[in-house]
């Protein structure tokens, strides 16, 4: 066994994963070598139409065989139909032992469970939200799921850690020669940011669309030079599934109080000035922070430079009203953002590589001043867990959590101290997703707790004096006073999930839950 920089005990090698490179520190691993690449191809004048009659024809033409790796992106989120459609076809064609490499799987993908049990899917490398995560936690997959951040995923592809044999791209609009767009159709999802790396690095790229138009379309996101085949289907998904309850501003008084404290901390920080950049993402509390920041920007006549990440209608309003100059959008989180990216040149589509890959020549998160994040748990060392619930179930992906925390000058985690009877602040998190060295503050309904590493921020908050400051020890004591000791998670030794830091080192593992008696 070995210990990583956080003291987490890890095996030297994990069956189904391989040799473990232990986490060294958030910026300690330096890349070596050259970028990887997909297969070189040419069509000359012999191919002027890439449309095939159906999914099975595209699978056959792609050369997809048992044991290969297939990728997907999740811009349609819980409204996606493409992953299920493709894997159903693979199963009917007798293809097995696939490695699934999605950016994320949602509840809508629970139809994959029979394919996992039958051996069509052998391995998953990607976020597993909901029912598939529960299946994995209970030991339902033979090989561990590998979890990577939005930046860690393109890093793994571009450096050759993961090779994509066939990428299936859900394209809301396409032409017959493979130009793809995320806007201008009934299934529009806006940005196609997660699909860019797959298109550029996969050996074969299949576009699946429900809006096939004459060549050439406008508003091209992914050009024809990366696409091998195009398939038209009745529907690639339901855009209503993009929007969930997490993209609505909270109306809960307690959560609004937390949001106000977080906004006040930002205003007290040295970063609240003209040119401020920020990412607040979706979720009731972050959206409320956005609204409070807008009030403060208006009151103090501060204009921001850009908003980043998953973009919502609240960010679109900031752009329209001149509170930020640009939006850099890797994922459009609601339909207002979808409409905006189609029409406003200052609403810019970016790839996940551009957004957050730590191993390129400068990703966007490096330019962030402030990010607001959530967590299921935070511990006395400010380590954050976003992957597992209090019962140890692996139900959530990493998203851009690691990337933005590492890149931003001020990283705030805002959350209630309790969820029901479950404390969000504990002695030691069950699994580490993001190390405490890149978390600057946690904001709860009891006030603001700042990482002792950030004495400058503590001084600024004291000078502002408009919210309660409390230490991590005080916050932890408050949680223990309210709920008492918690029962530890009961697990087997078997590892069912590997959590990579964005540089490919292992920051933690997740073990199989013990069956309940």
- According to DSSP, residue 251 is labeled -
User: How far is Cα 283 from Cα 376, in angstroms, rounded to an integer?
Assistant: 13
- Residue 509's pLDDT band, with cuts at 50, 70 and 90, is very high
Averaged confidence pLDDT in the chain:
95
166-171 β-sheet, strand order: 51-52, 229-232, 204-209, 166-171, 69-72, 98-102, 121-124
Cβ atoms 167, 204 nearer than 8 A = yes
Q: What are phi and psi of 68, to 5 degrees?
A: -85, 175
Q: Which two three-digit tokens encode residue 63? A: 């050369």
Q: Write out pLDDT tens, residues 172-190.
A: 999 999 999 999 999 999 9
Rg over alpha carbons for the chain, rounded to the nearest Å, is 23
Q: Write out pLDDT tens, residues 401-438.
A: 999 999 999 999 999 999 888 999 999 999 999 999 99
Q: What is the pLDDT of residue 246?
A: 60
Q: What is the mean pLDDT of residues 449-475?
A: 96
Q: Is the pLDDT of residue 86 over 70?
A: yes
Q: What are phi and psi of 484, to 5 degrees?
A: 75, -175
Q: Is the pLDDT of residue 166 over 90?
A: yes
Q: Is the pLDDT of residue 46 over 90?
A: no
Q: According to the 3-state scheme, what is the secondary structure of 439-454?
A: CCEEEECCEEEECCCC
User: How far is Cα 127 from Cα 397, in angstroms, rounded to an integer?
Assistant: 4
What are the helix and strand counts (H, E) for the chain?
14, 32
User: How far is Cα 193 from Cα 75, in angstroms, rounded to an integer?
Assistant: 8
Q: What is the pLDDT of residue 251?
A: 82
User: How far is Cα 402 from Cα 434, in angstroms, rounded to an integer?
Assistant: 5
Q: What is the DSSP string of 232-287?
A: E-S-SB-GGGG--GGGS----HHHHHHHHHHHHHHHHSTT-STT--EE--SSHHHH
Cβ atoms 145, 102 nearer than 8 A = no
Q: What is the pLDDT of residue 283?
A: 77
Q: What is the pLDDT of residue 244?
A: 58
- Residue 45's pLDDT band, with cuts at 50, 70 and 90, is confident
Q: What is the pLDDT of residue 236?
A: 96
How far lies 361's CA from each of 353, 357, 396, in Å? 10, 9, 29
Q: What is the pLDDT of residue 394?
A: 94
Q: Which two three-digit tokens encode residue 127? A: 């976020």
Question: What value, to the nearest 5°, has the Cα angle with vertex 112 and ends 109 and 118?
Answer: 170
How many residues does this entry show for the chain?
517
Q: Is the pLDDT of residue 51 over 80?
A: yes
Cβ atoms 485, 2 nearer than 8 A = no
Q: Write out pLDDT tens, residues 218-249.
A: 999 999 999 999 999 999 998 788 775 566 77
Q: Among 402, 473, 456, 465, which residue's Cα sits nearest to residue 432?
A: 402
Q: What is the pLDDT of residue 240?
A: 81
Q: What is the mean pLDDT of residues 345-362?
A: 98
Q: What is the pLDDT of residue 260?
A: 95
Least confident residue range of 50-54, 119-123, 247-251, 498-502: 247-251
Q: What is the pLDDT of residue 281?
A: 75
Q: What share of the chain is helix, strand, coil (3-state, %, to 5)?
A: 30, 25, 45
Cβ atoms 44, 27 nearer than 8 A = no
Least confident residue range of 113-117, 312-316, 325-329: 312-316
Cβ atoms 395, 510 nearer than 8 A = no
- Residue 390's pLDDT band, with cuts at 50, 70 and 90, is confident
Q: What is the pLDDT of residue 435?
A: 98
Q: Tell me what percent of the residues of the chain surpass a pLDDT of 70.
A: 99
Least confident residue range of 12-21, 196-205, 332-341: 332-341
Q: What is the pLDDT of residue 245?
A: 53
Q: What is the pLDDT of residue 38?
A: 84
Q: What is the pLDDT of residue 424?
A: 94
Q: Is 484 helix (H, G, I), strand (E, B) or coil?
A: coil
Kindly give, in sequence order, each residue whose CB lies less than 8 Å from that of residue 481, ignoring residues fewer than 6 positions away: none
Q: Which two three-digit tokens encode residue 441? A: 């503050």
- According to DSSP, residue 223 is labeled -
For the chain, the straight-line distance linking the first and the last C-alpha, in angstroms and rounded, comes to 30
Reported pTM: 0.96
Q: What is the pLDDT of residue 488?
A: 87
Cβ atoms 82, 237 nearer than 8 A = yes
User: How far is Cα 405 from Cα 459, in angstroms, rounded to an integer?
Assistant: 21
Q: What is the mean pLDDT of residues 132-138?
A: 96
User: How far is Cα 200 from Cα 198, in angstroms, rounded to an integer?
Assistant: 5
Q: What is the mean pLDDT of residues 247-271?
A: 91
Q: What is the pLDDT of residue 84?
A: 98
Q: Is the pLDDT of residue 297 over 70?
A: yes
Q: What is the DSSP string of 15-70?
A: TTTEE--B---TT-----S----------GGG-S--EESSHHHHHHHHT--TT-EE
Cβ atoms 502, 406 nearer than 8 A = yes
Cβ atoms 378, 429 nearer than 8 A = yes
Q: What is the mean pLDDT of residues 464-492?
A: 92
């Amino acid at each position: 066994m070995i210990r990583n920089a956080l003291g987490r005990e890890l095996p030297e090698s994990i069956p189904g994963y391989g040799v473990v490179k232990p986490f060294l520190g958030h910026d300690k691993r330096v890349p070596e070598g050259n970028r990887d690449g997909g297969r070189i191809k040419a069509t000359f004048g012999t191919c002027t139409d890439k449309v095939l009659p159906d999914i099975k024809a595209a699978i056959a033409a792609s050369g997809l065989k048992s044991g290969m790796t297939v990728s997907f992106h999740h811009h349609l989120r819980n409204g996606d139909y493409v992953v299920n459609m493709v894997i159903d076809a693979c199963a009917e064609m007798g293809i097995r032992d696939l490695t699934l490499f999605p950016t994320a799987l949602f509840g809508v993908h629970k139809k994959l469970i029979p394919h996992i049990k039958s051996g069509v899917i052998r391995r998953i490398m990607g976020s597993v939200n909901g029912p598939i995560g529960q299946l994995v936690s209970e030991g339902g997959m033979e090989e561990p799921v590998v979890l990577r951040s939005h930046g860690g995923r393109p890093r793994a592809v571009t450096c050759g850690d993961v090779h994509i044999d066939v990428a299936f791209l859900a394209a809301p609009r396409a032409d017959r020669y493979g130009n793809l767009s995320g806007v201008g159709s009934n299934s529009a999802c806006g940005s196609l940011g997660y699909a860019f790396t797959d298109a550029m690095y996969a050996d074969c790229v299949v576009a699946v669309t429900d809006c096939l138009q004459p060549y050439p379309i406008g508003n091209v996101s992914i050009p024809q030079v990366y696409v091998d085949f195009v398939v038209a289907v009745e529907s690639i998904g339901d855009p209503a599934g993009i929007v969930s309850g997490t993209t609505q501003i909270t109306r809960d008084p307690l959560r609004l109080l937390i949001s106000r404290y977080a906004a006040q901390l930002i205003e007290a920080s040295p970063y609240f000035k003209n040119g401020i950049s920020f990412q607040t993402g979706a979720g009731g509390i972050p959206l409320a922070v956005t609204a409070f920041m807008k009030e403060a920007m208006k009151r103090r006549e501060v204009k921001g430079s850009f908003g980043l990440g998953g973009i919502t209608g609240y960010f679109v309003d900031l752009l329209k009203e001149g509170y930020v100059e640009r939006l850099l959008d890797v994922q459009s989180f609601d339909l207002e953002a979808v409409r905006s990216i189609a029409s406003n040149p200052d609403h810019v589509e970016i790839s996940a590589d551009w957004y957050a890959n730590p191993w390129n020549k400068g990703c966007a998160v490096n330019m962030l001043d402030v990010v607001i994040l959530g967590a299921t748990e935070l511990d006395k060392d400010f380590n954050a867990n976003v992957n597992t619930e209090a019962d140890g179930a692996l139900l959530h992906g990493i998203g851009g959590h690691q990337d933005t925390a590492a890149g931003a000058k001020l990283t705030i985690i805002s959350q209630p101290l309790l969820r029901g009877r479950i404390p969000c602040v504990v002695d030691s998190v069950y699994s580490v997703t993001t190390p405490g060295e890149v978390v600057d503050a946690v904001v709860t309904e009891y006030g603001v707790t700042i990482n002792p590493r950030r004495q400058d921020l503590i001084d600024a908050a004291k000078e502002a004096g408009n919210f309660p400051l409390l230490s991590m020890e005080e916050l932890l004591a408050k949680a223990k006073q309210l709920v008492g000791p918690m029962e530890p998670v009961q697990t087997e030794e078997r590892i069912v999930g590997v959590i990579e830091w964005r540089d490919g080192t292992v920051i933690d593992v997740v073990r199989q839950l013990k069956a309940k008696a």
